[in-house]
Amino acid sequence: MRRDDHLYEPHALRSLVRRWVPIADLGETAVPCHVVTTDLLTGRPCWWTTGDPVAVLTASACLPALFPPVLLGDSLHVDGGVTVPVPVDRALELGADRVWVLDVSGGSLGRRDERMTALDVLLLSFAISRSHLDRPQAPLRPGQQVVRLPRPDFGHTEMRDFSQTSRLIAAGYAAAQLALAELPVSHRS
């Protein structure tokens, strides 16, 4: 059995971030960007608004055991979704009145027609736990609203298959556009 802390090298993920985020620091984004990672030493979420986008975004997307943890400061960090699956509360804390949630976690959970590997079981369990934690923890204040858009049908795509990234991004974008077009005009502002 392997003794590594990960199954896959993060080269493709890092390359994707470099291509899609051509800035030197998160603080350079046109719209303020808040990225969450999970500190493996404390088990707490860490929010980033500045820093190396490749390191921070790779850490934020670093599914535990699939990719190696990323050293940020003095701590190792993994996917922010471990502690904050959908950062609704953070958006509300930052002053949002309306938070839009588009679930892009994947298709159906069960797969009875295939024999699952130990990794499949781990990833599926992780996805299930995340799906139960996407509700605001604090009560909404008057005037605040959380709008959940329907989950797009991506078909069956392996979570580990980065060859489908462009297609999945396009499908997510199209699903968001369709859902927004179907909303009443009062929700679009």
Tell me the DSSP string of the chain. Answer: ---SSBSS-SHHHHHHHHHH---S-GGG-SS---EEEEETTT--EEEESSS-HHHHHHHHT--BBTB--EEETTEEEEEGGGT-SS-HHHHHHTT-SEEEEE--S-S-S--TTSPPPHHHHHHHHHHHHHHTS-S-SSPPPTT-EEEEEPPP---S--TT-GGGHHHHHHHHHHHHHHHHHTS-GGG--
Residue 1, pLDDT > 60, answer no
- Is the pLDDT at 121 greater than 70, yes or no? yes
Is there a single domain that holds both residue 65 and residue 151? no
Contact 84, 90 (CB under 8 A): yes
103 and 189 part of one domain: yes
Say whether both 110 and 179 belong to one domain.
yes
Domain carrying residue 121? 85-189
> For residues 34 and 177, which has the higher predicted lDDT (pLDDT)?
34
Q: Are residues 111 and 161 in the same domain?
A: yes
| Tokens 């985020």, located at residue | 21
187 and 105 inside one domain? yes
Q: Answer with the one of 84, 112, 140 that is the final residue of a domain.
A: 84
**Number of domains into which the chain is organized:** 2
Residues 75 and 110 in one domain: no
**One domain for residues 33 and 60:** yes
Model confidence over 11-68: pLDDT tens digits?
A: 988 998 999 999 999 999 999 999 999 999 999 999 999 999 999 999 999 988 888 9
Query: What pLDDT, on the 0 to 100 scale, is given for residue 23?
Result: 96
12 and 36 belong to one structural domain: yes
| Domain end residue (candidates: 61, 84, 107) | 84
Q: Are residues 112 and 25 in the same domain?
A: no
Question: Does one domain contain both 74 and 141?
Answer: no
What's the pTM? Answer: 0.74
Q: Are residues 111 and 69 in the same domain?
A: no
84, 106, 126 — which closes off a domain? Answer: 84
Residues 116 and 23 in one domain: no
